[in-house]
């Protein structure tokens, strides 16, 4: 499958000192509200891209049901090189040779990362793996425990003591619970969430299942995540869109927690399922994992 041709993203951006943590879209466009925003050229383009990708993803879905086998980087031998030295010899000098774990969303599988996985490897990330969790997931807490066990296996197999995690939708919330409540910050260097309902979603009132109830705004889960986490060491970046059909309102895609000092990146005109394939989002993820985005950087994301 060929990588979708999407609008080119800007080149790597250097962080700008003294900027605030939230990341506005660029270039600055006239503010649109209500129906005018929904029928804007950017929104229409994003909606068409979303429909096309959902169709392609439906065809790829069966191929993603099998759990991926981890393939350790053959050029790295555990115990022989510190992380800083390994980073210098990465295929791309901007990207450290640290494993990247991709975590999909609810009722999905690793096929949603088909484009992002290949793109990250092209950018110099030698070890990019995915994790499939059961569609019969009971709750976020048990999924976070399972993710923690998988990350331990990745560290043992690769010889690394830290990983990056990129989570789409519910996957980002599972990873956040791991680093914030279960001590996963000891293993997770940085966490990037894509279209994750950090503030819940109104759609969660539609289904009464235990897991979906946890995604309702103000649920016990979000009250637990709102608790202090002063010692959490994981850098958190939340990428969200104003065209996200699943995270309602779209502002719920922002991660708001004073102890996490999360960096929020708004990417306008991108649908929920399109976030992992959007070229601007992929570039933003790569730059963040490569350490080119600080928690206080004001680095604009590419518009759709």
The residue extents of the domains of the chain are: 34-68+89-302
**pLDDT at residue number 107:** 83
Q: Is the separation of the CB atoms in 196 and 169 below 8 Å? A: yes
Whole-model pTM: value is 0.76
Peptide bond into 10 cis (omega under 30): no
**pLDDT at residue number 113:** 94
Could you report the average pLDDT of every consecutive run of 10 residues in the chain (304 residues)?
A: 43 37 45 53 65 61 61 53 45 64 90 92 88 88 96 92 96 98 96 98 92 96 96 96 94 95 94 93 93 61 49
- Domain 34-68+89-302 class in CATH: alpha beta
Judging by beta carbons within 10 Å of its beta carbon (0-12, 13-18, 19+), is residue 17 exposed, middle or buried? exposed
**pLDDT at residue number 180:** 97
For the chain, the first-to-last Cα distance in angstroms comes to 21
**pLDDT at residue number 50:** 63
Distance between CA 159 and CA 152 in Å, rounded? 10
Closest alpha carbon to 127 in 177, 175, 83: 83
Residue 78 Cα distances to 73, 127, 152, angstroms? 10, 14, 15
Distance between CA 141 and CA 134 in Å, rounded? 13
Q: Is the separation of the CB atoms in 139 and 174 below 8 Å? A: no
**pLDDT at residue number 93:** 47
What tokens were used for 184? 């996963």
**pLDDT at residue number 42:** 63
Closest alpha carbon to 241 in 203, 267, 262, 273: 267
Sign of CA dihedral 82, 83, 84, 89: positive
Say how many CA atoms lie within 13 Å of 264 toward its Cβ.
Answer: 24
């Amino acid at each position: 499958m060929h990588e979708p041709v999407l609008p080119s993203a800007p080149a790597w951006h250097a962080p700008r000192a003294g900027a605030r943590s939230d990341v506005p879209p660029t270039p600055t466009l006239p503010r649109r509200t209500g129906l005018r925003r929904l029928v804007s050229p950017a929104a229409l383009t994003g909606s068409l891209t979303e429909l096309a990708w959902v169709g392609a993803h439906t065809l790829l879905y069966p191929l993603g049901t099998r759990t991926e086998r981890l393939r350790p980087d053959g050029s790295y031998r555990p115990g022989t090189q510190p992380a800083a030295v390994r980073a210098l010899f990465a295929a791309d000098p901007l990207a450290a040779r640290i494993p990247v774990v991709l975590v999909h969303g609810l009722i999905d599988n690793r096929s949603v990362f088909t484009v992002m996985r290949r793109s990250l490897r092209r950018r110099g990330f030698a070890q990019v793996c995915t994790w499939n969790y059961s569609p019969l997931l009971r709750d976020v807490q048990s999924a976070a425990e399972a993710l923690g066990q998988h990350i331990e296996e990745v560290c043992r197999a690769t010889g690394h003591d830290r990983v990056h995690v990129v989570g789409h939708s519910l996957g980002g919330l599972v990873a956040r619970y791991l680093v914030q409540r279960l001590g996963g910050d000891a293993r997770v260097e940085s966490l990037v969430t894509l279209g994750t309902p950090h503030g819940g979603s109104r759609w969660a009132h539609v289904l009464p299942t235990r897991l979906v109830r946890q995604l309702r705004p103000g649920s016990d889960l979000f009250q637990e995540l709102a608790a202090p986490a002063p010692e959490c060491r994981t850098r958190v970046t939340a990428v969200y869109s104003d065209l996200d059909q699943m995270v309602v309102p779209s502002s719920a895609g922002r991660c708001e927690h004073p102890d996490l000092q999360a960096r929020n990146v708004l990417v306008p005109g991108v649908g929920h399922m399109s976030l992992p394939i959007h070229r601007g989002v992929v570039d933003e993820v790569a730059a963040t994992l490569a350490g080119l985005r600080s928690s206080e950087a004001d680095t604009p994301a590419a518009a759709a």
